[in-house]
Structure 1
Amino acid sequence: MERRNFLAKAGVGAAALGLVACGKKEEPKPATAPAASSPAPAATPAPAASGEVIRWRLASSFPKSLDTIYGGAEFMAQRVAEATGGKFQIQVFAGGEIVPGPAVFDAVKDNTVEMAHTASYYFFGKDPTYAFDCAIPFGMNNRQLDAWMRYGNGTKLMNELYGKSNIVPIPCGNTGAQMGGWFRKEVKTVADMHGLKIRIGGFAGEVLSKLGAVPQQIPGGDIYPSLEKGTIDAAEWIGPYDDQKLGFNKVAKYYYYPGWWEGGPQLSVYVNSAKYAELPKEYKAILHMACADAHVDMMAKYDAKNPIALKQLVGSGTQLRQYPKVIMDAAYKAAMELYAETSKANPGFKKVYDDYSKFQADENLWFGIAEGAYSSYMGTKR
């Protein structure tokens, strides 16, 4: 996930990581008295050496009410401040406070803000290739995606893609496999999907269109009233913890799983490439380590909170339903057709998809043997 093999080479690697772990602040060493093992200072003092405080703004795509996802950016910013003794400060703004959530890509590209925190598949309309930085239907799970980013070609390919828009992407969070959405009525066959109005977008929306459903692009804050009024028949969001906070169980009875379109959606920090280049080497390393810490923390937070929320939802009357295999198979077939069509029309997409799918095939083989068998057995001991 963290595309950053150079972290191990950064002079502050171990020290900064220790500061992140213990939460202590350390006064910056004077530029005129570097440690014996430190490289010679640059001819032009960087902000870290001169004592100047760097202040950046980060535009999130998410509302403050989502303490898991929105909170991931705050967690990262806090770690950066702690590790730099307050010399690098990142102020986080919720979606709409500076720019609307869907506009953060262009805000970073155009240097309206230095940073953003978002889900890259929101920019499917610009180029579907961006979805690989987050999630695609029947794609990799959290750990598999991390492996592709760290030890496959994921980092290289994403940096090439985003570099065309003056953006440096850094993984900063993952929700894990999501749920498959809230439905006002049961769906048992593919025919039940025909004409179904469901809040969903991107690749998943196009896959469901092939099954006869009618995708709807609706902001998170408008999902509840749309379900309540019957304007839509179903909606997907994230998982038990966030869905319960938004009250979807009060207006839709059936809760489906798994969210086959989001097996491990990654959140990313976007940094304007010119601003990134201006950062001292130490601060670049700290930024990447802070994002890595937030990445792990978000997944852990969801894993801790989702089980409790799910039990509460079921206890209040929510009906859990697993997607019938016939619907899963039809969706998988439609997704593979869509990838073939998109690859034919978009050479850049094909380049990434070919690499991604090859890596995923090996990951699925391994996970099916060890993780899959273990998880299946432990699931029988509930």
Structure 2
Amino acid sequence: MATSKAYVEELLAQADIRINGNRAWDMQVHDESVFDEALSRGNLGLGESYMARLWDAESLDQFFFKLLRSGIQDEVNPARLIFHSLKSRLFNLQDKSRAWKVGQHHYDMGNDLYQAMLDDNMVYTCGYWEKADNVNDAQRDKLELCCQKLGLKPGMTVLDIGCGWGSFMKYAAENYGVKCVGVTISKEQVALGEKRCEGLPVEFRLQDYRDLNEQFDRVISLGMFEHVGQKNYDDYMDVALRCTKPDGLFLLHTIGKNVSDTAADPWISKYIFPNGEIPSISQIGQALEQKFVCEDLHNFGAYYDKTLMAWFENFDAAWPQLKSQFDDEFYRMWKYYLLSCAGAFRARDIQLWQWVLSPKGQLDGYLRPQL
């Protein structure tokens, strides 16, 4: 029987990755226990081994691009991951009692980190790089694209579900003269967001989306649907529908996966986004049925690669100032998060979709704006 190392070497060869090779994407192994960890616990074992300095890769994003593009991850089905898959199917991991966990774990860890990592507008979702050559312009163009897709006009009311630090609301209020209400489950986001939007017709609410029950001309949700969970997709769409006026529009911006029948990544769930879950097109489509008409579906997932690489560059440059608040393990964890995700988007293993939805369908049709 082949050893774990020999089996992993054989698998990685299919992705043109060598163990202790001399190329930027090759895997440098410092402790051979990493092979058993990866085979028995998948990305959870691989990620924790990386955090513990058991292995490295000079270019982690290229390592994951090659790994995921090759498809060899589908050949490894660790038995220990079966429980994680069953748990996500049997239990509602994003019910009201658990929904606040991601706010406390991820978004409330401190605004200094996000101010250093993100663009000037503090947009924590994929940028739009059609014409941009830096993350500030890419995020400004994304916000502008969203405003144009929603057809914003002065005096309109806008609901932002999962508003973050208010980047969209601030941009829309300043440039389109609209009034905004945003909900988030992060106290830190509300505190900083209110300062950033001072003097603007923008209201922040520390509130679960399920408690919303008032109508707006336009509704938008940027990068929040990944926290909803498949058991709550129908309820989420019910909330969006009851909050969108009959002649209104709803823009849903979400990461998406190519295959429905997969569980959330266990490493991401444990260390980055507790109880997160990426939807597929069919899962979103089923939740939309008898609620919304899909006016437009736009995939610019390849741009998330550039966005994540820009975030890592900012994070890495700011680390000398941030390391007094965090330890070395956090640095490796955050690097693994940003660069593994960049590689996944580069490999087109995951996507980024913007859906424009209307309650009854626009009678004259919908034309996507072009920036």
TM-score, normalised via structure 2 length: 0.36
Q: Which has the larger radius of gyration?
A: 1
TM-score, normalised via structure 1 length: 0.35
